[in-house]
Structure 1
Amino acid sequence: MVYQPEENRYAMMEYRRCGKRGLMLPMISLGLWHNFGGVDTFENSRDMVLRAFDLGITHFDLANNYGPPPGSAEETFGIIMQKDLKPFRDELIISSKAGYRMWPGPYGEWGSRKYLVASADQSLKRMGLDYVDIFYSHRPDLDTPLEETMGALDFIVRSGRALYAGISSYSPEDTRKAAAILRDLGTPCLIHQPRYNMFDRWIEDGLTSALEEEGMGCIVFSPLAQGLLTDKYLEGIPEGSRASKPHGFLKPDQVSEQKVEKVRKLREIARARGQSTAQMAIAWTLRNPVITSALIGASRKEQIDNVVACLENIIFSKEELAAIDRILED
């Protein structure tokens, strides 16, 4: 069957302006970090992407190394684009990144012009696209001059490979430096993608103020701390969860009893708000207007519906915020 998106999809989503730029992003974006690789079931990956678009999620975030194997998430998304979403390309924001290891030798990772431009070309080929909307430097490279990395992003935009430039996981100081270099080159830095959740609040120590001053947007990843900020681990580590996998990003020792007890207390606040713990955790990241969008992952389409429902209540009282802070600080 030919895919037809929901006609009222834009009524289901709220959008925020990306800093002081013209672009707007959905407050919930879908990341293809996990569950879209070559080892995953294609039909499930396709169902999640199409359900996200039906709900007004117009932004799909990828990177050259997403899989596994690396590159396969972009290949999966490329098939979905050609099969289903091609007629709606102008309604979509598609991003990719480069910074982590992709091929052997000295040019296969980090932030050199050689690596970033080659990566952009490879990503476009895997996805079957003429351009991506945002191309990121995925991580800072201390051994490459920042001027070279930002110059490569400027070239990628000017050459038509991307519409906007972004950075990910840069410190407040390097964010300001990167923004200044790109501004002087005539390609303003659109957006920063940092990790941010209730258990990892590092961006509050200088980054959010830097982004506000620079007029940059902010899309946060891991808003659920790799699943810790859900009810999944309240009774131990279930089989098939991220913490149960030997090579996963969430290690079993990170599922500590101390953190689990905090999640139990947070669940009580969430229930009083009429939300699940996960819904409240994502709404909490969006409480600050500097945050443009929360980047979520999913393993099935029903999870996307559940997350989008959090937008029905993203306002927190002073009492709720104080109670959350007490739990997190204990």
Structure 2
Amino acid sequence: MKILVTGAIGFIGFSFSKDILENTKIQIIGIDNLNSYYDPKLKEKRLELLNEFKNFKFFKEDIINYEKLNEIFNVEKPDLIVHLAAQAGVRYSLENPHLYEYSNNLGTLNIFELAKKYNIKRVIFASSSSVYGGNQKIPFSESDSVDKPVSLYAATKKYNELIAHVYNYLYGIDMIGLRFFTAYGEFGRPDMAYWKFTKNILEEQPINVYNYGKMKRDFTYVSDIVEGIKSAVFLNKKTGYEIFNLGGDNPVELEYFISLIEKETGKKAIKNYMPLQEGDVLVTMADLEKSKEILNYHPKIGIEVGIKKFVKWYIQNSHWILQNTGKQ
């Protein structure tokens, strides 16, 4: 099998690709534009690790460039697509809306068009828990309405799901959308709270705690996310159009989350309490019944173990992390 992975040098794309390369003989065709949303040196470090595998081939390209993508598809002829490339960040979407229109919407349309053109039978694509917006019903189920997003980022992910349905309906491509719930872990994104908290607590700098700490998140360790993606890749039946939640199965309050980082670093946080930010939601919690039944998805890494693993990794790698992730 040959899998084309977009966003292959991003956090989840790298983690998925590395797992496949380490454990199978499957060839990964990676596409990523290595943009500067956060310091590209971290992405270059991920790329360096993936380039050690003979069954990995990389193209530095932007998914909004249809002609270049077409050239890659024409030469490589992938069997399956794992589409993870996107402009990330709920808050950043409020400041740079056009980036999201291009990368998340046009880029995804390009990928789906090429899947049709090259007769690719299955596309797994990244969606997000953000699509649930301000829904009051907890936990969030795939059957819930997601018609009221509260950020542009969430709206682009909803759009991705809609056009995936169209391409399944019209062209019979298996379209599997995975709604990720707050992925975290080694080689993660420096713009995310767990990374910023760890960095600032270790450096005895203040951390910003939004909504005065009164939030809950369904944190999901990256290895569990990877297992969910792999289950979708290797699902041995035709699925049509399906959406699945991939969550950690144990939402925790922000204050408890911070206390775990304090415990593992051995330092107390200096907390700067702030109001809720635009586009943020108070609670995320995944209903995993469908994912458990169809994907056999069972998250294994609880938040206590996950934070312990991440902080240990961060400290062990701090000699290059601080040089290669820029100022946050």
The two structures have a TM-score, normalised by structure 1, of 0.34
TM-score, length-normalised on structure 2? 0.34
